[in-house]
Amino acid sequence: MAAPPDPFKGFRFRVEIQGIQQMGFSECSSVGSHIEVIEYREGGDVANVRKLPGKVSYPDITLKWGMTTSQDIYDWHLAAVQGNIKRVHGSVVQLDDTGKEQLRWDFFNAWPSKWDGPAYTAKGNDVAIETLTLTCESIQKSK
């Protein structure tokens, strides 16, 4: 019997966003989907509750990266702040140990709903980190 394959490493990923040339994301969280559960009790049945599927929702995707002179992501968010919401598609790509793509989560109609600049402190030597929250309408896992 063959041994099961090793799990993928959480640090081996790439994020692709249509029209954005940002490299080196240090963190990407919250790809997934959620189905609301609707509880329903029929007529005189007091003991049994049926659980029905409700609306599907997708969590926001949070991206973090070391601040550089690149303005692409901030400009996209600034346009949204000014009322010009530009929805784009993108992917979170899982890489294997050799850097080859193994699978991806495609997200659709995403727009930047939150941007946080770096926290500064003179007491350390940490990299200045920017954070972007993407709100999207759907996410699908593909190969």
User: How do residues 55-113 score in pLDDT, each as one tens digit?
Assistant: 999 999 999 999 988 888 999 999 999 999 999 999 999 999 999 999 999 999 999 99
pTM, 2 dp: 0.84
**55-70 residue pLDDT tens:** 999 999 999 999 988 8
Residue ranges per domain, the chain?
Answer: 13-38+48-142
Q: Return the structure tokens found at 73.
A: 């992501």
3-state secondary structure of 9: coil
Phi and psi dihedrals of 96, rounded to 5? -90, -175
For the chain, give percent helix, strand, coil, nearest 5.
5, 45, 45
- Cβ-defined contacts of 68-76 (< 8 Å, 24+): 70/21, 70/22, 72/19, 72/20, 72/21, 72/22, 73/20, 73/22, 73/112, 73/115, 73/130, 73/132, 74/115, 74/130, 76/19, 76/20, 76/112
Structure tokens that stand for 96 in this block? 């294997």
Cβ proximity of 47 and 41 under 8 Å:
no
- CATH fold label, 13-38+48-142: Pnp Oxidase; Chain A (2.30.110)
